[in-house]
Amino acid sequence: MRANLRMLRMRWTVIATAAGLGAEGLGSAFLGPGADLMIIATAWAGMIGALAGIADVKLDKITALKIATTILVSFGSFVGGSKLAVQAFAYTGVGTLPALVANGGINAVVTYLTGTTIRM
Nearest to 103 by CA among 13, 27, 29: 29
Determine what percent of the chain is predicted with pLDDT higher than 90. 8
DSSP string, 1-67: -HHHHHHHHHHHHHHHHHHHHHHHHHHSTTS-TTTTHHHHHHHHHHHHHHHHHHHT----HHHHHHH
- Give 20-33 pLDDT, tens digit per residue: 888 887 766 666 65
Q: What is the pLDDT of residues 73-83, one digit of tens each?
A: 777 766 666 66
Closest CA to 43 of 102, 99, 112, 117: 112
Q: What is the DSSP string of 81-99?
A: IIHHHHHHHHHSSS-HHHH
Start-to-end CA span in the chain (Å): 18
Residue 78 confidence (pLDDT) = 67
